[in-house]
Structure 1
């Protein structure tokens, strides 16, 4: 298939920058953007399997957190909708795990595209925590003066009670943005399990020779939590 898209560039201080891009005619991904395109597609499929969102909402949510320069390289929306619908159908026919004891985190959900493990499966008595982050994310957490923590009960697998997330600034200078750096699925909402979560997070940081001590933590659903 021939791509009829056209891009106009402009040279600013010796660097070429995109001035105009006809995304509607674009029908293939650039080689350099393939890993990021694949990442976005995987995120859409995973969201399709763990939520009740419609395809249009899933596409919108993932595009919103995808870099601007990658968005034009994504497949067309009708192709994305088909991928999402297939992911939902596969999820529907799979035999659902009935108990936490039987639940096993798939390898595809615990390894990054570069092959790094980014999950911890934590047992606390009869309860479970699935903790997701990377060493790079932990470095940003260490640098951050503040964290923003939040929890949702909407996009959570059946066996778990809450999806907990920690957001903090990442990036240097003008490129700094507040982004989610840690995700955790918890099977019950309790102070004891939250304490275990942060204990494991701190130990993970120590394994990478990092120390997590933000000046303060903001949250809109629990009391202000000290990380000392």
Structure 2
């Protein structure tokens, strides 16, 4: 600076020094913000923080449901919010990480499976674990008391097996379903380690079993 006033306010920097000029008191002063905050981005950041908190508070709620619930709130707020909503695939890893912090690791073998508490009930608190044949050649059956009653009262029971949606530690997901005249249905879903006639006979009485 060339003026005396300027020399009092600012310290000179050597020509080979990098960096800004500083006031003589050594305090760097920043300019004041003169633009309004981006409300949409702020609300989206709040929503993302809420998404990450929900898996800790509600560890058994599916992650995609948590995302959809928070995204729906933003969508109802206006177009500006919609354009700032992150896609599910960009936030799902963080959500799953938060949930895994409060949930046990998946078992590596059937003998390690422990079913108790929330893992034996439906979302509305009804008993859902019908039987568990542990330990070897393990079969797990799920059904509510009402579903079992309807199955026992039914004269016709349909059976079906699938392999695509079964957990990795099991071979087959086997379903028992009845159809009533009113159109109501009940199902008993079981996981079997192998697709054998012996395993299926353990689920269905021999006098009703047909290959």
Q: Give TM-score, length-normalised by structure 1.
A: 0.45
Structure with the bigger RCO (C-alpha within 8 Å, sep 6+) is: 1
The structure whose Rg is larger is 2
Greater strand fraction, Structure 1 or Structure 2 = 1
